[in-house]
Amino acid sequence: MPSGALVLLILRVLRPGPLHGYAIAQRIHLLSSEVLRVEEGSLYPALQKILLKGWVVAEWGVSETNRQVRFYRLTPAGKKQLEAELAEYSRTSEAIQAVLKGA
Amino acid sequence: MREFIRRIGYLLRLRQHDRELANELDFHREMAAREGRDNLGNRLRLREESREAWGWTWLDRLGQDVRYAARLLAKSPGFTLTAVLMLALGIGVNVAAFGFFNLMVFSQLPVRDPDSLLSFQRRAPRGYASDLPYPAMAFYREHSRTLSAVLAMHSAGLIAENEEKPIRASFVTANTFLELDAPMNLGRPLEPRHDDADAAAVVVLSHGFWTRHFGANRSVIGQVIRLNRQSATIIGVASPDFGGLTMSAADVWLPIARQPDFIPGSALLTSFSDAATGVQMWGRMRPGMTPKIVEDELAQLASDLRKLHPNDVWEKERLASEPGGYLKMSGGGQRGSGTPESASQRLRPVFVLIGSLALLILAVACGNLGSLLLARGVAREREISIRAAVGAGQGRLVRQLFTESLLLAMAGSLAGLGLGAVVLRALLLWTDSPAWLDATPDWRVTLFAVTAGALAALLFGLTPALQVARQRHRSTRVRQVLIGAQVAASCVLLIVAGLLVRGLQHATSMDPGFEYQQVISISPSLADHGFNATQSRTYLESLMAQLRAEPGVTSVSLVSTAPLSNRREVMRVRIDDRKMDVHVNRVDPDFFETMKIQVLRGRAMAMGEKAVVISESLARFQWPGQDPLGKPFDEKRPIVGIARSARAGALSDPDAGEVYLPIDEGDWPEMQLIAKSAGPVETALPRIAALAKGLDAQVFPQVQTLKASFRRKLESTERSAAAVSLLGLTALLLASLGLVGLVSYAVSQRTKEIGIRLALGARPLHVMASVLRQFSWPVMAGLLAGVGGAAGLSQLLRGELYGISGLDPAVYVIAIALFLGVAILAALWPARRALRIDPLRALRYE
């Protein structure tokens, strides 16, 4: 999975509400009908990058197993970024579809 | 920008972030384990990869590199010490040189608001003068609306009790101390009321004079000091931090309104005449004014003044301004035709010369550093191949090695900064600079030292680092270039030092073109005492008659500028397109006899005759291939004689030209006397001095031997020769140390080969030659480059060499021989080891 796409997926699954790192991986896994598996080796570096960009902020919360853990929440800048990336993605994928069908 | 702030925030909470990340990863694993998935990934690596997103990895690595480098350097203190010392020498010399110029150019005078001070100089199409008449200054002071204050100063030598030489007095407008906010050590400063017509004579002592003359006695305030037999009450002692506005510090300050009390008959305060001595002028701009506005206003005032005094104010005269808040190198009393050279123009060759010499030392030091690092890199071959084997990339290795040299460079910079400050302090003491000049490095000097160190590391640390990391160190090219550059640089330094030393030698043994051993000069400064032409003439003629009657005095004559004095009168002679600044002297017919300056062709002009004599050097330059005899020198005066060149005005400059003008009526108050004695001058001096001082109690003539003036003139060259010789020897030492290192390295590298060759029966001499051969061409190439560089640089020195050619063969031969001698010794000493290699042990070695 290209790293740009991973960022898009993370931002998308965070839109309904804050999640912790493991839950993000789980959500992506579930929503993709268990096709996409996000390894921790790519998840956490990507999360750091998103933190740096200011698209999410980390907050302490309590996990379902009653453990203190960091939750990631989308910031207004992150929402804007998500919209922009979604628009860009659909434009690109339509274009690709068009080429694939037409060829 | 925000991203940058987040990055910084991250860096500040690095540990916390790290802990949180570790915690998060643990949690992830726990959850994964609960779902029965195992994860075997490396946790540490994952953490590092996550951290990389923040862009601070380089800092981590730098920290690692620095720690590692520091550990390694601490483990080989011998190497570290040598390298740091080497750099400290190279950088220290440069810091001292740069610091000196930094002080001269950038240090502002320790006075109130130096930025608003301007210093003024008279300029007109016909010439320039650094002094202006006091009443003209007063006129500008009264009418200027752009200046809030005007300061003026007139320097004079005064005779004080118990002082052998006249002391340096500054007669200043009495506002000077308060206007400049001059700090006082004791008592009170001069105040404007001290310039009132009925004020009593008061004096402020300089800190130096107070210490020297009064033994720093604190009870001097209120005491009376006698100067030129006049009393003045001491009201204060200035702080050592105050030296006035000029480079040469005064011994005492007196209110300028009292000047005629001390110089009887002086017309300083009343005479508009531009022939008489005047004052140096400074002004303080009102807030919001620019130098341009001030200059325009003063030019307008000058033309108003010209209407009142048409003969004394020049046509189109204006006052040119310079920033007044900086050290002024030149004193007053300079005048001439044309436009003056600015201080920066005059000093540029000196700057270039000293700068190049200092950089050469740095180059030699860096060359050594380079070879040291290279040799060390090779010695660390094993360590480096191990690091490469466990996965260190080439880039990382280079970075590691480079960090090491950066660390060395920083240590060297610091040590060099310290060394440079010490050298600079010594230099300032040596050159008698104002006490407030501070040798402590400022930000400019510090920046300079750090930059020099960093550049040294970059240039001389990077190449060896690359070579070692690529494990291609067996190439000798770099080492050869390094040694060549060192040889060239030290060669230049040796040759330049040799030229200066030889110039000095030549100066003490040469014939300067005139007699100075037997001549005494008497300078009564009659103009300062308000003597008019007739009075001066009477005074001088009776003094001459008395001198001639004195047994042992063989010849007496009149001159406007005594040879070797500090006075300079320069005239720009322009014929066709050739311009030459020649030294002007007004003389009587006996002058050529008294000074033993031969009139080669033609004759000396008679008293009062409208004719001139020119020097051979001027004739050669302005009338090449022609006979100037009988040609007009200017509209009124023909050339009647050609005298041998005599460098009386500029001892060290072989290109100087002279012109001798007849004495005009108006010149008399400016004239001085020279007298030649048959016996030793030292015995004649007291009698002549007594005679001169006894003639008129109101006049205080300065009497001195030309020998003493000659020695003083040589002092500055002696200093520069000593300094450059020291630099040259330092460079020689550094270069030979470098050579020792390189040769012994070459021997140790080839131990095995040499062993085999010796075992096979090679002759020891052959073996040694083969070791040394690789160094012969870089040394030769370096020598050639050095000779070329020195020849180029010596052209800058031409005016300082007392007529020695910049290509003086003896100097070059001696310098090269000295260098080669030392170089051969430096190479042979470690090369002997090659002969003592035991073939059996060498072969068994690996």
Of B27, B34, B54, the CB nearest to A48: B54
Decide if A44 and B24 are in contact by the 8 Å CB cutoff: yes
Residue B286's pLDDT is 93
CATH no. of A3-102: 1.10.10.10
- Angle A78-A81-A87 (CA atoms, 0-180°, nearest 5)? 140
The most confident of the ranges A83-92, B421-430, B641-650, B678-687 is: A83-92
B contact test, residue of A52, A56, A80 with most B CBs within 10 A: A52
The single residue listed with the structure tokens 């005095």 is: B553
pLDDT more than 70, % of chain B: 92
Segment B376-386 shows an average pLDDT of 75
Closest to B333 measured CA to CA, from B277, B410, B254: B277
pLDDT more than 90, % of chain B: 16
| Closest chain B residue to the Cα of A49, Cα to Cα | B53
- At A60-77, the pLDDT tens digits run 888 888 888 889 999 999
| Closest chain B residue to the Cα of A26, Cα to Cα | B32
- At B88-113, the pLDDT tens digits run 888 888 888 888 888 877 778 888 88
Sign of torsion over alpha carbons A89, A92, A96, A102: positive
Decide if B25 and A70 are in contact by the 8 Å CB cutoff: no
Under 8 Å between Cβ of A14 and A74: yes
Report chain A's terminal Cα–Cα distance, integer Å. 25
Which residues of chain B have a CB within 8 Å of the CB of A41?
41, 46, 49
Q: Could you tell me how many CB contacts below 8 A there are between chain A and chain B?
A: 67
The more confidently predicted of residues B43 and B426 is B426
Sign of torsion over alpha carbons B125, B129, B135, B139: positive
Angle of the B343-379 helix axis to the B443-469 helix axis, nearest 10: 30
In three-state secondary structure terms, B752 is helix
A contact test, residue of B4, B31, B49 with most A CBs within 10 A: B31
Domain ranges of chain A: 3-102
pLDDT confidence bin for B775, thresholds 50/70/90 = confident
pLDDT at residue B453 is higher than 60: yes
- At B639-665, the pLDDT tens digits run 999 998 887 666 767 677 888 988 888
Segment B264-274 shows an average pLDDT of 81
Under 8 Å between Cβ of B505 and B799: no
pLDDT confidence bin for B224, thresholds 50/70/90 = very high
Under 8 Å between Cβ of B587 and B663: yes
Q: Answer whether B101 touches A (CB < 8 Å).
A: no
Residue B60's pLDDT is 78
- Find the DSSP H helices in B218-341: 259-262, 291-308
Q: Which amino acid is at B775?
A: F
Sign of torsion over alpha carbons A70, A71, A75, A80: positive
Of A49, A54, A58, the CB nearest to B53: A49
Under 8 Å between Cβ of B406 and B461: yes
Q: Which helix (H) or strand (E) holds B283?
A: strand B280-285
- At B544-558, the pLDDT tens digits run 999 998 888 899 999
What are the tokens at B4? 């940058």
Q: Which amino acid is at B759?
A: A
Under 8 Å between Cβ of B793 and B353: yes
Give the C-alpha separation, B81 to B98, whole Å.
25
What's chain A's length in residues? 103
ipTM of the complex: 0.82
The CB-side HSE value for B184 (13 A sphere, CA atoms) comes to 20
Segment B551-576 shows an average pLDDT of 82
For the full predicted model, state whether its pTM sits above 0.80: no
